[in-house]
Amino acid sequence: METNFQMLKRLYREFKPETKGFLSGNEVEKIESYLYLNDRRDILDLRNLRDFIVMYFGQLKRDCDRASEKFDDLMDLVSGVTAVIDRHIFDLGGEV
Average pLDDT over residues 27-36: 96
User: What ranges do the domains of the chain cover?
Assistant: 4-9+24-91
pLDDT at 66 over 70: no
| Cα–Cα nearest to 86, from 74, 78, 94 | 94
Sequence-separated (6 or more) residues with CB below 8 Å from residue 27: 15, 17, 18, 80
pLDDT at residue 61 greater than cutoff 90: no
pTM, two decimal places:
0.88
